[in-house]
Amino acid sequence: MPPPEFAADIDAIRSIDAVPVILSMVKHLTGMRFAAVARVTDKNWVACAVDDSIDFGLKPGGELVLESTICHEIRKHQQPVIFGHASAHPVFSQHHTPKTYGLESYISIPIVKANGDFFGTLCAIDSVPANLEEPAIAKTLTLFAQLIAMSLDTQSHLQATKTALDTANELGRLREQFIAVLGHDLRTPLSAIRMSADLLESKTEDKRSLNLLAAIRHSSVRMGVLIENILDFARGRLGGGIPVQRKLVDDLQKTLLLTLEEVQASHPQATFVHALDIPAGIYCDALRISQLLSNLLGNAVTHGSTGTPIILNACSENNEIVISLTNQGTPIPAQLMPLLFEPFSRSEAGQRDEGLGLGLYIASQIATAHNGSLSVTSDIQSGTRFIARFPAQFKWV
């Protein structure tokens, strides 16, 4: 078994597909019969990969006594060591490593990572002499060692990126779960506020108190919309999209008209002009389409000019339902257009209008869930126009 502290290094070398080919090429280029990649530290020499034709006895995870190796010296000076005939060499004929292991030929190239860390060596040995004088041999093995180092660096970068991504995903998941729980828990006290306002209204005739109760009711309605938007955002992010329950609907036009009337009642200062012509038998989630329209209408009221009407058109066109909403006012800034259907885009673009910036995101997600789309154009002449499209009927796949 390899030393536990080196298991990751051995696995890292094993995962480099080129290493077996490199070791085979080292043997072919040098004529030597043993090649290896070794992890070398200040205390250990551990084989990470081996190509052995002389039964030297080392396998991945096998160790040599560090001080008995030349790699111990290479770790310090980080320079290649090459000799082809130890017994005739002026230095290595007296060196303990060739004597200990019965070596005549030896080549070892340091593997140094991009940050300067010394990993180990790419080495080859044999008990018989070898011709290693050709400069191309050292250059080629140096390139092989650099390739191994680059592969190790790439693995480290990928692992660091994966770890960072996993951490970010986990933080995002926890954040969105927190939003979902928070939105859910806010519903109970909000319902109590609404019921209390209704009860108090039935028991008082004081004009000032009735005005205060109307303000409470209006604020609670706004809070309810915000909470539902938060919940839809959390559901969409955690569940892969806002859920819809489509079925054949015969009164979608009536649903849209009721939605328009509700928004008109909440915003009596706004002027709406509408033309609705939607047939029966539309395959959709009527409540979600109502929510889409409500969000678009609310956006138009907030950002449109109070002196011009908001124009709503809805019809069937080429087997699609098309809902178009146009308002006049300041055109949408060009820098905001790419972010418009992203959550919280208003705050990202420096806008300070009321709301969380979730309405258009949720409307877009509802259109997408219906296999449709939501688009926008905006200029000073034509105003701002949102167009939602989705298939009019269900098509079996």
**Residue 294 is assigned to a structural domain of this protein:** yes
Q: Of 239, 273, 299, which residue sits at a domain end?
A: 239
CATH of the domain at 16: 3.30.450.40
pTM as predicted:
0.51
pLDDT of 205-262, one tens digit each?
A: 888 888 888 888 777 777 777 777 777 777 666 656 778 889 999 999 999 999 999 8
Same domain flag for 201 and 119: no
- Per cent of the chain over pLDDT 90 is 58
Same domain flag for 377 and 292: yes
The predicted pLDDT at position 345 comes to: 62
What number is the average pLDDT over the span 92-117?
95
Same domain flag for 98 and 113: yes
Rounded to whole angstroms, the Cα distance separating 280 from 297 reads: 23
pLDDT at 314 over 90: yes
- Please give the residue range of the domain that contains residue 29: 4-160
Of residues 346 and 382, the one with the higher pLDDT is 382
**Residue 396 is assigned to a structural domain of this protein:** no
Do the beta carbons of residue 89 and residue 83 sit within 8 Å? Answer: yes
The predicted pLDDT at position 101 comes to: 94
**Residue 56 is assigned to a structural domain of this protein:** yes
- Residues near 7 by Cβ (< 8 Å), separated by ≥ 6? none
pLDDT of 175-199, one tens digit each?
A: 777 766 766 677 777 878 888 888 8
Q: What is the mean pLDDT of the chain?
A: 87
For residues 226, 232, 234 and 239, what is the CA-based torsion angle, rounded to 10 degrees?
180
Q: Of 137, 160, 183, which residue sits at a domain end?
A: 160
**Residue 397 is assigned to a structural domain of this protein:** no
Same domain flag for 8 and 149: yes
pLDDT at 267 over 70: yes
Number of domains in the chain: 3
**Residue 94 is assigned to a structural domain of this protein:** yes
Same domain flag for 8 and 142: yes
What number is the average pLDDT over the span 273-286?
94
CATH of the domain at 230: 1.10.287.130
Same domain flag for 60 and 136: yes
**Residue 129 is assigned to a structural domain of this protein:** yes
pLDDT of 146-182, one tens digit each?
A: 999 999 999 989 888 988 888 888 877 777 777 667 6
- Per cent of the chain over pLDDT 70 is 91
Same domain flag for 58 and 202: no
Of 120-129, 209-218, 302-311, 356-365, highest mean pLDDT: 120-129
CATH of the domain at 373: 3.30.565.10
The predicted pLDDT at position 354 comes to: 46
pLDDT of 13-28, one tens digit each?
A: 999 999 999 999 999 9
The predicted pLDDT at position 98 comes to: 94
Same domain flag for 383 and 329: yes
